[in-house]
């Protein structure tokens, strides 16, 4: 017999364990994370798609799946995350939509993150895994105080002021500056012709410094005291007189009268011998010119004022707008320095006369653009007036001048353009009479009358009741349903009630600050809040419209300060946790952009 050798039992167990280790992978996790956005704007949400996959033959308890995202180095880059949305995937994996707000003052650039996933198997075994992730924080097209500060930090204040000067220079080439040309010639021209170009340069610079000082004061006030100064420039009380002034200046361009400063004012401002009193007088006239021209460049100037208003830095506002004024006045410096050149050009006839009439036509178009329907004048009044103005413009353009044999191609072309303007004006006048009637009822009114849908009643809540926001409101009116809060006692209490109810129901809040004189507030109502996609998206929101027309109400001022409202319109977003998303708030934006902003709020 041969002896039988038996392997010790512990060795056999160890061999089996090693074989099983090679046959079956150890329990563990795999985590993969990708960012949905290429660049995340400060004040918006970072959204990650996270896939948590267990090892083969392992099953995860979905209630234990957690994801944590931290900045490399332990810095505080993200805000508190929202509750993740967890859905099952293939092969036992779980898919998570993880989101957290990026603070408005977050540092731009590329940032390294660490994504940590934790879970437990069906038998309670804890598992974890990590994955690196790199994101980029960058600003979009909108401006905010943080973006301006970031721009200044990266490019420097001189570059920013140079950019603002360039904007002003572009404005000097627009028709908005044309009315200042005859005024500049009236104030400076005669003295420059008498004493030369150098003297004219000094007077012109003084004149433009006066203009620039007006804009600088507007910038300082916009960034400090008067948060609504930009919206005030859209008020019909400001726009309508400017439109009338543009019409008056237009007919001056047509040669109806000669524009110049009154003799007694010119003599008083000139001072004895045109010395120091002359400089002070020209500076004072520059101040007046800046006030006259500022509403004319309102849409452009308002945008710049909004930029500096968001910073709250009155020094930056002062020098930014002062630089803008210098750029806008550069053309006037040239006009005031070399008036002899302008004076040597033909005063009537020839190309100079044609240019003046073209300027006048542009001013007429601008005047009626300022008072267009929906802004100042109703359509039944606007179109007849536009028709009459077009007919008068055609007459002054020479539409009915007798052609001459010696005329070249341009005088005949000008005559043809005048006739086109006359026919357009006649069409506007007759068409508006047939459609709307003018002084007497329209003869075609029964045939052309349109049925105007009646607006549904707006939901209102009394001060002592809490509106039910748990269920989405029925959106059947083709417009966003609003809870309206007017300026007056109880505004704060009503707003707090709505916010508390929305937070309890887990719904975000959309707040639209508006005013009766705000042009772009009306544009939001007509172009954005009636967009079908925006209306459908608003169903999950508590929507509040706050009337901030009164500027001297302390309670409303406190509400605007809390929400960071620097001008109107202002749309503010509050997430479902009740946090105000200050960096996401916006003014007027198109419907598609507003929809994207709304969809990005949880």
Question: What CA–CA distance (Å, rounded) separates 135 from 46?
Answer: 9
pLDDT per position as a tens digit, 471-481? 444 444 588 99
Residue the block writes with tokens 């996959």: 53
pLDDT for 166 equals 84
CATH number for 483-599 (one of 3.40.190.10, 3.30.565.10, 3.40.30.10, 3.40.1000.10): it is 3.40.30.10
Number of H-type helices and E-type strands within the chain = 23, 11
Task: Please give the structure tokens belonging to residue 297.
Answer: 């460049």
Q: What is the DSSP letter of 38?
A: S
Whose CA is closest to 524, among 509, 542, 541, 511?
A: 511
Q: 29-137 in CATH: which number? A: 2.60.40.10
The answer to whether residue 434 scores a pLDDT higher than 60 is: yes
What b-and-e string marks burial along 471-494, b requiring 16 or more CB atoms within 10 Å of the CB? eebeeeeebbbbbbbebeeebeeb
The answer to whether residue 546 scores a pLDDT higher than 50 is: yes
Question: What CA–CA distance (Å, rounded) separates 44 from 601?
Answer: 8
Mean pLDDT of 107-129: 87
Question: What CA–CA distance (Å, rounded) separates 397 from 422?
Answer: 10
pLDDT per position as a tens digit, 176-216? 565 566 666 666 655 555 566 677 788 888 888 888 888 88
Q: Considering only 66-75, 151-160, 296-305, 424-433, which range has the smallest mean pLDDT?
A: 296-305
Whether the domain at 29-137 and the domain at 483-599 fall into the same CATH topology:
no
Mean pLDDT of 63-82: 83
Q: What angle do CA 353, 355, 358 make, to 5 degrees?
A: 110
88: Cα within 13 Å, side-chain hemisphere: 8
Mean pLDDT of 566-580: 86
- Tell me the domain boundaries of the chain: 29-137, 145-377, 483-599
């Amino acid at each position: 017999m041969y002896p039988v050798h038996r392997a010790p039992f512990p060795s056999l167990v160890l061999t089996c364990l090693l074989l099983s280790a090679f046959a079956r992978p150890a329990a563990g996790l795999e985590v993969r994370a990708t960012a949905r956005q290429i660049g995340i704007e400060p004040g918006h949400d970072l959204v990650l798609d996270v896939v948590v996959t267990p090892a083969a033959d392992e099953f995860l308890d979905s209630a234990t799946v957690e994801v944590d995202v931290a900045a490399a180095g332990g810095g505080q880059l993200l805000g508190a995350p929202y509750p993740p949305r967890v859905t099952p995937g293939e092969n036992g994996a779980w898919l998570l939509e993880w989101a957290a707000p990026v603070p408005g003052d977050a540092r731009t650039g590329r940032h390294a993150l660490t994504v940590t996933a934790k879970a437990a198997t069906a038998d309670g075994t804890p598992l974890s895994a990590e994955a690196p992730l790199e994101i980029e924080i960058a600003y979009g097209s909108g401006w905010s105080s943080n973006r301006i500060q970031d721009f200044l930090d990266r490019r420097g204040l001189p570059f920013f002021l140079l950019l603002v000067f360039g904007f002003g220079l572009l404005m000097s080439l627009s028709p908005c500056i044309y009315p200042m040309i005859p005024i500049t010639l009236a104030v400076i021209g005669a003295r420059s012709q008498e004493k030369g170009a150098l003297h004219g340069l000094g007077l012109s610079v003084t004149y433009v410094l006066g203009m620039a000082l007006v804009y600088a004061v507007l910038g300082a006030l916009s960034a400090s005291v008067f948060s609504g100064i930009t919206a005030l420039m859209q008020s019909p009380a400001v726009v309508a007189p400017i439109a009338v002034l543009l019409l008056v200046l237009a007919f001056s361009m047509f040669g109806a009268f000669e524009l110049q400063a009154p003799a007694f004012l010119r003599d008083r401002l000139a001072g004895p011998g045109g010395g120091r009193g002359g400089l002070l007088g020209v500076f004072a006239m520059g101040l007046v010119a800046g006030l006259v021209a500022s509403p004319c460049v309102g849409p452009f100037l308002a945008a710049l004022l909004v930029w500096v208003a968001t910073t709250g830095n009155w020094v930056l506002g002062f020098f930014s707008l002062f630089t803008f004024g210098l750029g806008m006045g550069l053309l006037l410096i040239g006009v005031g320095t070399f008036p002899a050149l302008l004076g040597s050009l033909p005063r009537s006839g020839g190309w100079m006369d044609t240019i003046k009439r073209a300027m006048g036509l542009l001013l007429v178009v601008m005047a009626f653009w300022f008072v267009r329907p929906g802004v100042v004048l109703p359509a039944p009044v606007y179109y007849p007036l536009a028709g009459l103005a077009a007919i008068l413009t055609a007459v002054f353009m020479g539409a009915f001048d007798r052609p001459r044999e010696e005329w070249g191609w341009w005088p005949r072309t000008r005559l043809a353009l005048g006739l086109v303007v006359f026919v357009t004006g006649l069409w506007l006048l007759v068409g508006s009479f047939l459609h709307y009637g003018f002084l007497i009822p329209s003869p075609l009114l029964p045939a052309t009358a349109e049925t105007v849908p009646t607006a549904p009643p707006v939901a209102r809540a009394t001060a002592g009741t809490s509106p039910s926001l748990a269920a989405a409101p029925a959106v059947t009116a083709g417009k966003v349903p609003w809870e309206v809060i007017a300026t007056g006692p109880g505004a704060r209490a009503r707003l707090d009630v709505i916010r508390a109810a929305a937070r309890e129901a887990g719904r975000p809040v959309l707040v639209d600050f508006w005013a009766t004189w705000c042009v772009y507030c009306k544009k939001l109502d007509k172009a954005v809040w009636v967009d079908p996609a925006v209306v459908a998206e608003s169903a999950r929101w508590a929507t509040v419209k706050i009337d901030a027309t009164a500027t001297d109400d302390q309670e409303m001022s406190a509400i605007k300060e809390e929400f960071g409202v620097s001008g109107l319109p202002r749309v503010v977003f509050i997430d479902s946790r009740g946090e105000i998303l200050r960096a996401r708030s916006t003014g007027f934006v198109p419907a598609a952009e507003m929809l994207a902003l709304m969809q990005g709020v949880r």
